[in-house]
Structure 1
Amino acid sequence: PPLSSEEETTLFLLKRSFEDFLARKWSSEKRFGLEGCEVLIPALKTMIDTSSAAGIDNVIMGMPHRGRLNVLANVIRKDLDQIFCQFDSKLEAADEGSGDVKYHLGLYHERINRETDKNITLSLMANPSHLEAVDPVVQGKAKAEQFYRGDTQGKKVMCISIHGDAAFAGQGVVYETFHLSELPSYTTHGTIHVVVNNQIGFTTDPRVARSSPYPTDVARVVNAPIFHVNADDPEAVMYVCRLAAEWRSTFNKDVVVDLVCYRRFGHNEMDEPMFTQPLMYKQIRRQQRVLRKYSDRLIAEGVVTLQEFEEEVAKYDKICEEAYKSSKDEKISQIRHWLDSPWPDFFTAEGEPRSMNCVPTGLNEEVLQHIGQAASSVPLEDFKVHPGVSRILRGRAELVKSRQMDWALGEYMAFGSLLKDGVHVRLSGQDVERGTFSHRHHVLHDQGVDKRMCVPMNHLWANQAPYTVCNSSLSEYGVLGFELGFAMASPNALILWEAQFGDFHNTAQCIIDQFISPGQAKWVRHNGIVLLLPHGMEGMGPEHSSARPERFLQMSKDDPDHFPEFNGDFEVQQLYDCNWIVVNCSNPANYCHVLRRQILLPFRKPLIIFTPKSLLRHPDARSSFDELADGTKFKRVIPDEGLATQNPDQVKRVIFCTGKVYYELARERRQHKLERDIAIIRLEQISPFPFDLVRAEVEKYTNAELVWCQEEHKNMGYYDYVRPRLLTVVADRKPVWYVGRDPAAAPATGSKFTHLNELKRFMDTAFDLRAFHGNDA
C-alpha cells in the first residue's frame, strides 16, 4: 500500500543518516552538513512532488554549500559512489581546467517522479562560495528554458532557490534578483525561496548581521508571502511546503519558506562555534535530533514500529557502505559528469566539439540590402515616429544606398543575419532599446499612441528566430548573472549584456570573476555570453572613460612567454584553448564579423567587446558592404594598407594600437606627412593574442622600431598584456617602446583641458622619430 505522509516524511528524514555516514568516514573533511536542518530534504521533495502534480516537469535549483551534498544525493539523486569518490585525496582530474571542490558542483538529472509517475528534470546549478551569486543565474536559466519551450506562464519550468539566513539578509544581489521577478523580460513566474535559518552566519549573531527582525524581510519588497516554520516540526514543514508550491503554481508569484533551525556543528565541521556562541551551543548540544524526536513520536503513535524504523536505518546505511566500496574504484574525477547545463546536440558524447573549423562570416549582397532597408524603415503603417528618429532612419537609408554602414548598422547586420538562420538574439541591459548614445533605436515608440511600440528586427524574415531587446532594471550584478544563466540553456543563441558605460561592469565583478572567466575551468561549462562595454578616453571624466580592459586581460590565461604552435587552424585552436575572447573592433564590419563568429564557432567562449562612443558616428569609422561580402571573415589584426606597405624595409616605426586611438594616430600621421615612414597596425583581437599575424607584420617591417600606443594610462589599458607578447614575437631582439598617458590612479582626468594636453603630448611622441633614441624601453 502507498505510504502515508508521516511514513514518507520519516523515510526521508532517514536521509540525515547520509550526514552521519559522511561524518564517520571523513571526520576531518569539510562537508557543510545539514545537521540541524535535516528537514530540508523532505521539504524539497514535497515542493517538487506538489509542483510535478501541477504540471511542472523542469525544476532549476540554486543553493549555497550547506547541505549541497545531501541535496545532490537524495533530491537530485546523484549516484552516491560518485559523490563519495570526491572525498578521495588521491583523486585525479581527467578533464581540462582546475575543477572545483565537491560542495560547489552542480548536476543535471532526468528521472521519474515516484509520487506523480511523471518525468521530471532537476538541475542544481554549480556556483562558487560567493553566497547568493547564483540567484540571478538560476533565474536566467529558468527564463531561457521557459522561452525556448514557449512556457509563457511558467507552468512547465520553475525555480527553487535555497538560501542561508545571513546571506539572504546581507547580500544585495538578493534584492536585485527579487526586483527582476515581475519585469516582463525577466520574470520566471514565481520562485520558491527556502531559507535555511541557522540563526547565525559563520560566527556572526543576527544582532549584528541584520537590522530587521527576520532575515526574510527583504522579500516584502515584492509582497511575497513568507512562512516561518519550526524545522523541528516535520509535519508543519511539509504542510507549509505544499502550500508554498500550490501558491506558486496557482498565482505564479514568489513565495518564501523560512525554516527556523540551527547549525549543530561549526561552520565547516572543523570550526569551534563555542568560541563565539557559547550559550547557544550549550543549548544545541542538549537538543535532541529531529529524527529521533519524530521517530519516537511515530513509534509511540503506532504509525511505525521500532523494528521497522531500525530496519530502514540499517538499509540506508548498507546502501551508503556499498557505494563507499564502489567509490574506491573511481580514481578519476570526471567533472563532465557534474554538468548542470549539458548541450548534447552541440557536443559529442565525450563533451568535445563536433568539428574544429570556423566558416567565413561574410554575407551576400541581397541579405545586406534586405537588412539595411529594414533597419532604415518602419514596418507598421500609421506609426508616428519621433522626427529625430526619422532623421536617423533617413541617414541609414542613405548609408545603405551608398553600400556603407556605421556601427549601429553593422550591429543590425549581425543580429538580422543570425535571426535569418534561426539563432535567437537577446540584448539586455540599461537603456539598450534606444542605446545609451541614441544610436540603436531597436524599439520604436509611436509618438501619438501610448505603449504602442515596434521592433523592426522582428519583421525581417518570414520564419526568423525571435529578437529580444529589453531595458533592464538599474542593476548590473543581478542582470549580468541573469543573462549568464540565460546563455547556459542553449548554445544556439546570441546572448548579449551591454553596460550603460563600460566601467559599470565593476558592480557585476563577482559574476565576471567567479562565473565567466573561470567557468569552463571549474565546471567544464561552455558559455557564449557577450559583454558590450562602451570604452574610450574622450574627456568625459574618470567614470565614463575606461571599461578597465587591464582587468579582463590579466585574467586571460594565454602564456605571454610562449609562441603557441598548432597543427590545425591557428585561430580556432587558439580560441578553443582560451578562457575568453577580448576584442576592441575599430570598424562596423569587424564588429559584425566577430558577433557572427561567436555563433559559427564549433564551441562557446565568453566574448568581451570594448565598444565605441565617439566612433558610433565618426565619419572615418565606417565600413563598405564589401568588407562583409561572401567569403570575408573577422580580422584579428588590421594591417597598414597605405604608403608604408610599398617599401616596408624603409619604414622607420611600426605603431601597434587598438580601438579609437587608431583614428587619432591616422589623422596625426597625415598632418605630419609620415605615411611612408610610419606604419599603424590595429589589434582587433587582443586576447588570445594573435601571435601569428603580429609576427607576420613584424617580419614585414624588418628595419622599423616597435611602439605600442594606447590612450589609457600606462598602468591601465593593454600595455602590460601586449608588451611581453610582442617581445616573445621578436624573441627579445628589439625593444618595445611605450606611447600613451603616464601612470595614474584615476582612469581619466576630469578636466577637458588636461585631457587634450595629454593627447597632444603622446601624439607628439608617437610621431617624433627621435623620441626613443638613448632611452630605455
Structure 2
Amino acid sequence: MDRVFKLPSTTFIGGKEKSLPLREILKRLEGAYCGHIGVEFMFINSLEQCNWIRQKMETPGIMEMNNDDKRLILARLTRATGFEAFLARKWSSEKRFGLEGCEILIPAMKQVIDKSTELGVESIVMGMPHRGRLNVLANVCRKPLNQIFTQFAALEAADDGSGDVKYHLGTYIERLNRVTNKNIRLAVVANPSHLEAADPVVQGKTRAEQFYRGDGEGKKVMSILLHGDAAFCGQGVVFETMHLSDLPDYTTHGTIHIVVNNQIGFTTDPRHSRSSPYCTDVARVVNAPIFHVNSDDPEAVMHVCKIAAEWRSTFHKDVVIDLVCYRRNGHNEIDEPMFTQPLMYRKIRATPPGLDIYANKLIAEGVVSQEEVKDVKDKYEKICEEAYVNARQETHIKYKDWLDSPWSGFFEGKDPLKASPTGIKEDTLVHIGKKFSSPPPNAAEFVIHKGIERILKARMEMIESRQVDWALGEAMAFGSLLKEGIHVRLSGQDVERGTFSHRHHVLHHQTVDKATYRPLCYLYPDQAPYTVCNSSLSEFGVLGFELGYSMTNPNALVCWEAQFGDFNNTAQCIIDQFISSGQAKWVRQSGLVMLQPHGLEGMGPEHSSARLERFLQMSADDPDYFPPESEEFAVRQLHDINWIVANCSTPANYFHILRRQIALPFRKPLIMMTPKSLLRHPEARSSFDLMTEDTSFLRIIPEEGIAAQNPGNVKRVLFCSGKVYYDLKKARGERGLDDKIAISRVEQVRDI
C-alpha cells in the first residue's frame, strides 16, 4: 500500500508534480483503484450498485483486451490525431479549439456509443463545448469532412440568418455503426459560448425523443454531455440540470457525462477556480459514480467507457467519466499559455502525444508494426486531402446541413404564409368545458377539497352561460389541441395548481397520498397525451429543458410558465442565446411558449414585471421595412420576426393565440405576458361567440362601447395592452367620458 502513484488530476498543478501513496489516493477517491483508474462511489447509498462497480473494477484480468480491440483503439486515436494535425497544417492561423492533449476523447465516445448501441440504444443526443467539437463531428458523427472544411472558407451563407462560428454548430446524422452493425442516430446540439447552457437543452430534446418513441425507460434514446473541468464545477446550470435527472417528468433515465479535464480553465488553475478537490464533485449530489482516468492510458479509458455505458443501461442513472488530460495549446490555437502557466506548459511541451505513447506500446507488445502505424496515418491523411479538394469546389455554406433537429416533412406542401383557422365548434367548447369542470368519475370515493368543489361549480355555471374566464379559455385551447392529436406539455414552478390558484389541472385526493385526477387527460378516448408537471425551483435549467423539448417535434405545444414574470431574469441566458437568436444563428425554429405573469398588483417591484421592454428590445426589427398590404400581411409579419410578444386582455384572444402556435405553417417562440388580477376579474370574460368557427386572434381590439357608436364625438384615442385596459375603462366611466375617449387594445405588442 505504500507504493507511489502519480495522481493525474494534480500532476501539473502549479508546475509541481505531486506523488501520493496509494492509501491516500483511495482515501481521497473513496472508492476503488485499478491501474490508471480511480473510482468514487462510496457515497452511493446502494449496496447493489457499489458491489456492481467493485465487480467491474476489481475482478482479476478485467481490463485485458484482445489485439483486435487494441488495433481499433489505435485506428480511432490515429484519426482523432490526424484530423487535428490536418487542420493545423491547412489553417494554421485559424481558431478551431482543437483536441490536442485529449485526442482519446474520440475513441472514448465511440466506445460509449458502440456499447450503448449493443445494449439497444438507437438514438443519442449530445451536447458539448467548443473544444473538440469539429473532431467529434468528423470522427464520431462521421459528418462529411468537406462540409466541415467548407466552414473554414470565407463563403457567404446560402440560407437566411446571421450564421455562427464553426465550433458552435450542431448536426444530425443517421448512419450504420460498423462495430455493432446497427443503425444509430446521432445529434450534436448547437450551442453558444455560454459553456454549459446546452446541458438542459440536450436533456429536454432527449426526453422528448423518448416520449414520442414510447421509450419510457430510456432504453432506445440517451444523452451524452461533454464538459470542461472548469465549467463543470463553475457553472450553476450543471447543478440545475443534474437535479432534473431523477424527476419523473424530466428524467432522461441516465446521462453519460464526459469531462475533458484540461486541469486548467482558460488561464486559471484549479486552486483559483474551485473549492473542492475534484471538478466532478458536483455529481455526488445525485449519487453518480465518478471514474477518474488517465487519458494517456487508452485501454484504461476504454474500460471505463464500457463500464459507464453498462451502468447507464443497468441502473438508468447518471455516470461521470473524468478524462484527466491536458491542453497542448492555449485556450485556442493562437493563444500563448506560457504567459500564465510557464512550468505546466514546459512539462506539456516535453510530453509526447498520446498517439505516439500508445503506438510505441503496441509495437513493443508486437500487436502492430511500425509500417502498420504509418499506413493507418497515411490512409486518413488521404481521406482528408480528398475532402479538402471537394470543399474548395463549394461556393456557399449551407446552414441547413448543420441542423441538429430536422423536422422531416413539416414544411413540405404548405403555403408558408397561410395559417389554419383557430376557431372551433361550440359543441367542442361545451364538451371540454364540462369535462374540465366536473369532479372525478369516482367522486364518491375521490375526496376533493371543498374549495375545489366551489371552483368546479363556478366553472360549470360559466359553461351554461357560454362564458369563459382565463383558466377556462386556456383549458379549452389545450383540450381542443389534444382532440386534434397535438401533444401539450405545460411545465414550470407550481403550474399544476397555478401560482395564483386558478388552474387546478391536477386534483388531489384529500385523504389518500399520491392519488390524483387530471381532467384534461380524459377528454376523448383517442386524444393526444397531456403533460402538466411542476418543475424544480429552477428557471435557467427548466426553460432550457423545455426549449430542447420543443425542438424535437413541431406538432406539439410546449409551454413554460414562470412563477412570476420577472423570474425569467435567471433564465436570461437561454432567452438571449437560444430563443431570441436561435433561428438566425442555427436555422433552428421553436414554437416554445413562455407564460409570464405580469402586472402591477401592489406586490412590490419584485413580483410585478416580466420586463416586457427587454423582449421588445430583442425583437428583430427593421424600421425601414413594412410588408406590402395583402391577405397574408399578418402572417408575413410573424414569419419575418424572431419571436411574438403578446399581452392579451381577453380569454378568447389567449385561446386563439395558443392554438395559432400550431396553426402557423412555421414555428416562432411566443412571449406571453399573462395576467394576475385578470384571472378573476369579472369583466375579463369572453363569450363562446369569440372562440367558435370563423373567429380568430385579434391583433388589435378596437373600441367597442359608446365611443365607437358615435366616433364624431371622440376627443381622444388611447392605445394600451393587457390589464391596463380595465383600469382605464373604469376611470373613464367614473369621469363620465365614455363617449369622448376611445380605448383600443394592442394585443400583439410586437410582430415585426
User: What's the TM-score once normalised by structure 1's chain length?
Assistant: 0.87
- SS in structure 2 at match of 1:258: strand
The alpha-carbon deviation at position 302 of structure 1 amounts to: 1.2
Partner of 2:433: 372
Q: Secondary structure at the match of 2:175?
A: strand
Deviation for aligned residue 1:159: 0.4
Deviations 1:413-465 (A, max 9, x none): 00000000000000000000000000000000001111100101001001000
- Indicate the SS of the match to 2:743: strand
The letter for the 1-side match of 2:637 is: Q
Report the counterpart of residue 142 of structure 1 in structure 2. Answer: 206
* Residue 87 (str. 1) matches residue 148 (str. 2): no
Residue identity opposite 2:112 in structure 1: M
Q: Letter of the 2:739 partner, please give it.
A: R
Counterpart in the other structure of 1:107:
171
Do 2:462 and 2:468's aligned partners in 1 also have CA atoms closer than 8 Å?
yes
Structure 1 residue 76 corresponds to structure 2 residue 137: no
Q: CA deviation at 1:674?
A: 1.4
CA contact (8 A) 2:487 2:530 kept: yes
Q: In structure 2, what is the equivalent of residue 760 of structure 1? A: none
Quick one: which of 489, 502, 509 aligns to 1:446? Answer: 509
Counterpart residue identity of residue 670, structure 1: G
Would the aligned equivalents of 1:346 and 1:354 in 2 still touch at CA under 8 Å? no
Pick from 368, 372, 390 the counterpart of residue 308 of structure 1.
372
Shift of 1:193: 0.2
Partner of 2:248: 184
Verify the 8 A CA contact 1:379 1:459 in the aligned structure 2.
Answer: no
* Unmatched tracts of structure 2, length 5 or more: 1-65
The yes-or-no answer on 1:548 pairing with 2:611 is yes
Of 172, 178, 195, the match for 2:259: 195
Alignment correspondent of 1:124: 188
The 3-state SS of whatever aligns with 2:571 is helix
What residue identity is the alignment partner of 2:72? E
Q: Does 1:616 align with 2:682?
A: no
How far off its partner does 1:48 sit?
Answer: 0.1
Q: What's the counterpart of residue 84 of structure 2?
A: 19
Q: Which residue of 2 aligns with 1:55?
A: 120
Deviation readout 1:537-558 (Å, 9 max, x if unpaired): 1111010000000010001012
Question: Which residue number in structure 1 is paired with residue 537 of structure 2?
Answer: 474
Report the AA paired with residue 134 of structure 2. Answer: L
CA distance in 1, matches of 2:393, 2:696: 49
**Residue 515 of structure 1 aligns to a residue in which SS?**
helix
> Aligned partners of 1:562, 1:35: CA distance in 2, in Å?
48
> What is the aligned partner in structure 2 of residue 318 from structure 1?
382
Look up the SS of the partner of 1:543 in the other structure: helix
Is it true that 1:401 corresponds to 2:464 in the alignment? yes
Matched, 1:513 2:576: yes
Measure the CA separation in 1 of the matches of 2:400 and 2:337: 36
By how many angstroms is 1:670 displaced? 1.0
Q: Give the letter aligned to residue 374 of structure 1.
A: K
For residues 273 and 712 of structure 2, the distance between their equivalents in structure 1, rounded to whole angstroms, comes to 68
Contact 1:380 1:454 (8 Å CA) reproduced: no
Distance 1:82 1:578 in 2: 29
Amino acid at match of 1:686: V
Matched residue type, 1:642: G
The separation in 2 between residues aligned to 1:563 and 1:10, in whole angstroms, is 60
Match of 2:22 in 1: none
Structure 2 partner of 1:422: 485
Deviations 1:57-80 (A, max 9, x none): 000000001000000000001110
- Partner residue of 1:347? 411
Letter in 2 for 1:503: D
Measured against aligned partners, the alpha-carbon deviations of 1:87-107 in whole angstroms (never above 9, x if no partner) come to 012x01111110110000000
Letter matched to residue 219 of structure 1: A
TM-score between the two structures when normalised by the length of structure 2: 0.90
| d(CA) in 2 for partners of 1:282, 1:38 | 20
What CA RMSD, in Å, does the superposition of the two structures yield over aligned residues?
Answer: 1.1
- Hey, what does 1:563 align to over in structure 2? 626
Q: Residue by residue, what CA displacement relative to the aligned partner does 1:274-313 show, whole Å, maximum 9, x if unpaired?
A: 0110100000000100101110111121111111111111
Instruction: State the partner residue of 2:104.
Output: 39
One-letter code aligned to 1:446: H
Asked if structure 2 preserves the Cα contact closer than 8 Å seen for 1:428 and 1:469, the reply is yes
Distance 1:58 1:529 in 2: 23
The count of corresponding residues between Structure 1 and Structure 2 is: 684
What is the CA–CA distance in structure 2 between the aligned matches of 1:512 and 1:455, rounded to whole Å?
31
Q: What secondary structure, in the 3-state scheme, does the structure 2 residue paired with 1:4 have?
A: helix
Moved over 6 A (4+): none
Q: Indicate which of 144, 155, 161 corresponds to 2:225.
A: 161
Superposition deviation, residue 356 in structure 1:
2.3
Deviations 1:525-569 (A, max 9, x none): 110000000000111101000000001000101223443325551
In structure 2, distance between residues paired with 1:132 and 1:523: 18
**Alignment partners' CA distance in 2, 1:3 and 1:230:** 21
Describe the SS at the equivalent of 1:126: coil
- Equivalent position of 1:692 in the other structure: none
- Structure 1: any 5+ residue segments left out of the alignment? 690-777
SS at match of 1:257: strand
Deviation at 1:645, TM superposition (A): 2.1
Aligned pairs (5 A) from 1:579-594: 579-594=642-657
Distance 1:419 1:14, change over 3 A: same
How many percent identity over aligned positions? 68
SS of match in other structure, 2:605? coil
Q: Distance in 1 between matches of 2:248 and 2:629?
A: 47
Structure 1: distance between partners of 2:556 and 2:435:
22
Q: Name the CA distance, whole Å, in 1 between partners of 2:209 and 2:625.
A: 42
Letter of the structure 1 residue corresponding to residue 425 of structure 2: N
Tell me, yes or no, if the aligned pair for 1:566 and 1:573 is still in contact at 8 Å: no
SS of the residue corresponding to residue 120 of structure 1 reads strand
Partner of 1:9 in structure 2? 73
Residue in structure 2 matching 1:527, options 590, 593, 614: 590
Query: Among residues 423, 441, 444, which one is paired with 1:362 in the alignment?
Result: 423
* CA distance in 1 between partners of 2:254 and 2:205 (Å): 14
